[in-house]
Structure 1
Amino acid sequence: MTWNIIVTGATGHYGSLAIDFIKKFNPEGVEPRIGDFSDKNSLIEAFKGMNRLLFVSVPYKNIQKNVVEAAKECGISYIVYTSIFGAEYSKFGLEINHKQTEQWIKESGIPYTILRNNWYIDLEEGLLHATKNTGSFLYTTKENKLSFALRREYAEVGARVILKEDNFYYNKIINLARTPFTYPELGKMVEEALGKKIEIKEVSMDEFQKYLEEANVTQQGKSVSLSMQTYVKNGNNGEELGDPKEFEEVLSRKLESLVSIIREYLSD
C-alpha cells in the first residue's frame, strides 16, 4: 500500500526515529514529508497531497489547533497523535494541552488514533548519570511508582500504527506504558545495568538536591530530576496504572527489559 505520510517535528528526536522506522517497515511505499507548526498556511502547504498524518505533539498551548485545521482542510484521511499517558491526572500541566488537542481531533471528524505515551527515560537523566558518576542512587520516596521507556520504543509504535493497512486502530486510544516501579526497585535495576554494587538510599529533598549538584550532571538534568522526585512523591498521577499489554500488542513482542534500556541509555 502506498501512502503519502507527513510527520510533524520530523527533525526532532521522536520524529526522526519514527521516519527511520517508517522507511524500515515500508521502504518503497511511503514518502515522509517534513512539516512544522509555524503557522496554519505553511502547514496547509506542507499537507498538500498527503493523506496520513503522524502528529508529533509539542507542549505549546493553542498552536496545535493549526495542525488539526490544516489536516481537515487538506483532506488528511487519518491522524495518529502522540498524547500523554494518564491524561486524566496531573502531569506537570502537560495534560491540559493534550486533552484539548485530543478533543479538536475528535471534533474534526477525521479517523484518528491517540497514542498516550508515558515518560521518556531522559527525564531521569540527572539521577541516572549521578548514579553512574558517584556510585550512589539516592531518592526521596520509596512508596509511589513511576514508569518510562526509550524514545525509540514509542517511535516504533507510531510508525507501526500510521502504516496499519486497515482501520484496525481507527478512533482508538492506545496506552503506552511499562509496568510501574518504585525508586528502590529502579535503583536495583540501575545497579544491575552498571554491573557493580551501588549505594541505594532514601534521603531528604535537600540532600537529593546537594547530591545532584555534586554529581557533575547537567543543569537540565538536575532540574528535571528534582521535578520528577516531587511528582512521584506527591502521587495521584496515574503512574501506578501502567500496563505494558497494549504497548506489546502493537509491537508484537515483549518490551525490552528495563535493565537493558537503562544500560543502553547510560552507554550513550
Structure 2
Amino acid sequence: MTILVTGASGHLGRLAIEALLERGIAADTIVAGARRPEVLAELAARGIHTVELDYTKPDTIAAALDGVDHLLLVSSSVPGSRVAEHTNVIEAAKAAGVEHIVYTSATDARESALILAPEHKATEEAIEASGIPATILRNGWYSENYTRVYETAVQTGEVVASVGDGRVSSASRKDYAEAAAVVLSEPGHIGRVYELSGDTAWDFAELAATIARIAGTPVVYRPLTADEHSAELATAGLDAGTIGFIVGLDQNIRDGVLGQTPGDLARLIGRPTTPLVEGLAAAV
C-alpha cells in the first residue's frame, strides 16, 4: 500500500504525514508531494519519498501518482482556482488507477451557504463522476485560523467582528490530520462522508475571553453590523474583494453555518477534540 499526501509542505498535509507515521504506517510507503519538494528534506531524511506535485502542472501530478494506491487530496489554498486544480489531480488519479481518494472538503459542502462551499461541492462532484472510491472529510474550522485575530486583539484589546451571537465549532489542525490518517490507514471508510468539527461551539465573547486568558491581557468582543464592519475594513485599506470575503464569512458564522457539532471528528480519532484554548495557545 502506497499513500500519497498532497500539499505536504503545508500545515495540514505535514500533520497528516506525522499522524500516519504515529499510526505505524511505514515511512517508505508514504509519498509527500509539494510544489517545492526541496522544502521536504526533513521528511526525505526519515525515509519518506518526496516528489514535486503542483496542482497547476499535470505532468508533475502524473509522475507523483505513479504506483500510488491511496491519495489524500488536501484542498488547494487558492480560492477561485480550486476546481481546476483539483480536477487536474482527480483526472490524473483516475488515469493512474488510484484505488481510494480522501478529500478535505468543507462543512456540508453540497448544501451549505458557506462562502467557501461551491468549490468544494464541485470537487466532490468531480470525484463522484470519476468513479474512484472515495472518502470525503468535510473539515470544519481550524482554531489556528484565529492566530491573526489573536495578534490584533492583544494589541488593541478587542475582537472585532460582525458575527453577532454566531458560534464556531473549531478544532485543531492536528485533530483533522489524525482523522485523515485514520481513514487512510484502516478499512471501512470508503464511500463515507464525514462532517468534522470540534466538540464544542464557542461564540466571539468566548473567543475574546480565551485570548485574554492566553495573553494575560484584557480583551473584549466588539460586535458590528455588516455595514459597520465593511466600513472599518475599508478605512483600514482593504480592497473590496477581501472585505466581501471577510464580512461574508462573518455572516455565515452569524447564521450558524460553522457552529454544528455532529461529533464525527471525535469518533474518528477516538478522543475529544482539542479545546479552543489549547489549540490557539499552541498556535501562537
TM category (shorter chain) comes to: 0.7 to 0.9
Give the TM-score taking structure 1 as reference length: 0.82
Structure 1 Cα separation of the partners of residues 213 and 203 of structure 2:
16
Equivalent of 1:5 in 3, 6, 13: 3
Q: Shift of the alpha carbon at 1:209?
A: 4.1
**Residue type of the alignment partner of 1:243:** T
Relative to structure 2, which stretch is displaced further, 47-56 or 126-135? 126-135
2:15 maps to which residue? 17
Give the TM-score taking structure 2 as reference length: 0.77
Listed as ranges, the matches of 1:1-268 within 5 Å are: 3-28=1-26, 31-33=29-31, 34=33, 35-58=53-76, 59=79, 60=81, 61-87=83-109, 88-92=111-115, 94-164=116-186, 166=187, 168-178=188-198, 179-203=200-224, 204-205=228-229, 209=233, 227-233=245-251, 235-236=254-255, 238-240=257-259, 242-243=260-261, 245-266=263-284
Q: Shift of the alpha carbon at 1:26?
A: 1.9
Structure 1 Cα separation of the partners of residues 212 and 264 of structure 2:
28
Structure 2 Cα separation of the partners of residues 124 and 29 of structure 1:
32
User: For residues 102 and 230 of structure 1, do their structure 2 counterparts lie closer, same or farther at Cα, with a shift above 3 Å needed?
Assistant: closer
Structure 2 Cα separation of the partners of residues 191 and 42 of structure 1:
46
**Residue type of the alignment partner of 1:91:** L
Structure 1 contact 124–224 (Cα < 8 Å) conserved: no
Q: C-alpha root-mean-square deviation of aligned residues, in Å?
A: 2.9
Structure 2 contact 172–274 (Cα < 8 Å) conserved: no
Structure 1 contact 145–232 (Cα < 8 Å) conserved: no
Q: Shift of the alpha carbon at 1:174?
A: 0.7
Q: Shift of the alpha carbon at 1:82?
A: 0.6
Structure 2 contact 19–178 (Cα < 8 Å) conserved: yes
Moved over 6 A (4+): 223-226
Structure 2 contact 159–204 (Cα < 8 Å) conserved: no
User: Structure 2: which 5+ runs fail to align?
Assistant: 34-52
Q: Shift of the alpha carbon at 1:81?
A: 0.5
**Residue type of the alignment partner of 2:276:** L
Identity across the alignment (%)? 28
**Residue type of the alignment partner of 1:19:** I
Q: Shift of the alpha carbon at 1:150?
A: 2.4
**Residue type of the alignment partner of 2:264:** E
Aligned residues: 253
Q: Shift of the alpha carbon at 1:39?
A: 3.0
